[in-house]
């Protein structure tokens, strides 16, 4: 080997090397793979649930003996009024109809509907088939009597529907999509925040950090770690977004695909900001301890902030214009969870979004600065828990 193969690194190369290691290590990590799988299953599960709920219009199968086209029409029309799909099966005689009901082939069987005394066979009384049959028979009887009395029926006037807030449904739908997005965002922030924190402590507890810092600066190590895991998190977020959007479109769950995609992109953008914020906080906090067992004690405050944001975002989905959601959608750390819901629900002006983003960016800049200093100061101090003040004061003491 000759020394010509060895070139000093630029900081960017070092950051890339660190990031590369983080990605290649994590991507093979069981915890990561399981977590990712669970999240994707969760999204698919929600889609399937939506499909099940949407197709939840009831359907009823009615057998008819001695029916006619008019009877079938009357039954179907009655079903529509009750939001039920009615399918009619004709039977030749009562015995066949009776068998069909007993075998469960049809929900009920209507005998001689046009006669003076129609009869409905059911397994047990109650249920929509009864209502439908009753309504249809009554309607036909009234029509018959009116016709007999020589009354010429005119179609009744159709009521024009004027929606005062035509977007209300779409807003609700977008808010639900945003909320689902926030659930994913929250889960990924927790997951990747943990990864960052565990990674920092692992390097400290195994003392490998001494070898690393002999070749690079603390900020390069920190940046590489946060960027590497962040790219992985973003990739995962995008995979989930694509799966979710594609599934929603394929199953025809949403009314407005354009808004769905817009909302999903908003959530992804807020994930980037939220991750930058929480990853820096988690990394700085984790650098204060040297053992995984002590980790919980230092990252709890930041985790609590995340949980609070999540709870408020659920509340915001129900009441996007409320004071609580309006105020918290500007607070850095809470905004990534609350603002996307407000935006989706149509409760946020464009300048509000800009303000929230700017505040968040300012907070991130401050956190990276202070957190980086804490990290650099605490990284080489092993043993007990490093006091925040000591870490701030002593960079490489």
* Site of interaction with other proteins (CB under 8 A): 1, 3, 5-9, 14, 17, 21, 25, 202-203, 206-217, 380, 382, 396-397
CB of 313 to other proteins, least distance (A): 35
DSSP 15: H
CB of 17 to other proteins, least distance (A): 6
End-to-end CA distance of the chain: 37
The residue among 207 and 369 lying less far from other proteins, judged by its C-beta, is: 207
What is the residue whose two structure tokens read 């817009």? Answer: 262
Contacts of 311 (CB under 8 A, 6+ apart): none
Q: How far apart are CA 367 and CA 388, in angstroms?
A: 14
The residue among 5 and 160 lying less far from other proteins, judged by its C-beta, is: 5
The residue among 204 and 259 lying less far from other proteins, judged by its C-beta, is: 204
The residue among 84 and 198 lying less far from other proteins, judged by its C-beta, is: 198
The residue among 209 and 305 lying less far from other proteins, judged by its C-beta, is: 209
CB of 210 to other proteins, least distance (A): 4
What is the residue whose two structure tokens read 């650099």? Answer: 376
CB of 395 to other proteins, least distance (A): 9
Phi, psi for residue 145 in degrees, rounded to 5: -65, -40
Q: How far apart are CA 61 and CA 78, in angstroms?
A: 13
For 182, the 3-state DSSP assignment is helix
Strand partners, 121: 109
CB of 288 to other proteins, least distance (A): 18
For 123, the 3-state DSSP assignment is coil
CB of 24 to other proteins, least distance (A): 8
CB of 320 to other proteins, least distance (A): 45
CB of 380 to other proteins, least distance (A): 6
The residue among 5 and 92 lying less far from other proteins, judged by its C-beta, is: 5
Residues 81 and 135 sit within 8 Å (Cβ to Cβ): yes
Q: Starting at the earlier edge strand, list the strands of the sheet with 84-91.
A: 84-91, 58-65, 108-111, 119-122
Q: How far apart are CA 145 and CA 176, in angstroms?
A: 51
What is the residue whose two structure tokens read 């101090």? Answer: 381
328 burial via Cβ count (<10 Å: 0-12, 13-18, 19+): buried
CB of 285 to other proteins, least distance (A): 21
The residue among 14 and 331 lying less far from other proteins, judged by its C-beta, is: 14
The residue among 291 and 396 lying less far from other proteins, judged by its C-beta, is: 396
Q: What is the CA radius of gyration of the chain?
A: 32
Q: How far apart are CA 138 and CA 151, in angstroms?
A: 17
The residue among 210 and 319 lying less far from other proteins, judged by its C-beta, is: 210
Contacts of 80 (CB under 8 A, 6+ apart): 86
The residue among 87 and 382 lying less far from other proteins, judged by its C-beta, is: 382
Q: How far apart are CA 359 and CA 366, in angstroms?
A: 11
Q: How far apart are CA 181 and CA 164, in angstroms?
A: 29
CB of 206 to other proteins, least distance (A): 5
> Would residue 114 be called left, alpha or beta, if left means φ above 0 and alpha means ψ between -120 and 50 degrees?
alpha
């Amino acid at each position: 080997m000759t020394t010509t193969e060895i070139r000093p690194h630029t900081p960017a190369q070092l950051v890339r090397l660190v990031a590369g290691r983080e990605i290649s290590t994590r991507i093979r990590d069981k915890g990561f793979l399981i977590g990712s799988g669970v999240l994707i299953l969760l999204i698919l599960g929600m889609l399937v649930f939506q499909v099940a709920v949407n197709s939840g219009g009831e359907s009823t199968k009615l057998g008819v003996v001695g029916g006619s086209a008019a009877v079938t029409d009357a039954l179907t029309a009655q079903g529509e009024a009750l939001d039920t799909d009615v399918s009619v099966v004709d039977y030749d005689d009562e015995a066949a109809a009776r068998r069909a009901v007993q075998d469960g082939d049809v929900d009920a069987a209507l005998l001689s509907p046009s006669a003076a005394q129609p009869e409905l066979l059911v397994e047990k009384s109650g249920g929509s088939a009864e209502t439908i049959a009753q309504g249809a028979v009554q309607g036909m009887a009234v029509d018959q009597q009116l016709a007999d009395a020589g009354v010429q029926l005119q179609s009744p006037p159709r009521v024009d529907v004027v929606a005062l807030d035509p977007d209300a449904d779409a807003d609700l739908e977008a808010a639900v999509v945003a909320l689902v997005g926030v659930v994913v965002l929250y889960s990924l922030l927790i997951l990747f925040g943990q990864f960052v924190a565990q990674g920092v402590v692992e390097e400290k507890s195994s003392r490998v950090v001494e070898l690393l810092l002999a070749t690079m600066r603390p900020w390069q190590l920190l940046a590489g770690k946060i960027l590497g895991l962040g790219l992985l998190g973003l990739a995962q977020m995008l995979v989930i977004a694509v799966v979710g959007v594609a599934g929603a479109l394929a199953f025809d769950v949403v009314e407005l695909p354009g808004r769905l995609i817009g909302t999903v992109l908003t959530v992804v953008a807020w994930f980037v900001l939220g991750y930058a914020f929480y990853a820096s906080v988690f990394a700085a906090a984790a650098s204060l301890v040297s053992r995984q067992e002590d980790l919980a004690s230092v990252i709890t405050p930041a985790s609590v902030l995340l949980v609070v944001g999540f709870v408020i975002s659920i509340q915001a989905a129900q009441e996007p214009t409320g004071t609580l959601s309006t105020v918290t959608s500007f607070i850095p750390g809470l905004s990534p969870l609350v603002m996307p819901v407000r935006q989706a629900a149509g409760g946020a002006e464009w300048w509000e979004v800009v303000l929230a983003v700017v505040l968040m960016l300012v907070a991130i800049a401050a956190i990276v600065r202070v957190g980086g200093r804490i990290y650099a100061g605490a990284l080489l101090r092993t043993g007990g828990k490093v006091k925040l003040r000591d870490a701030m004061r002593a960079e490489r003491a």
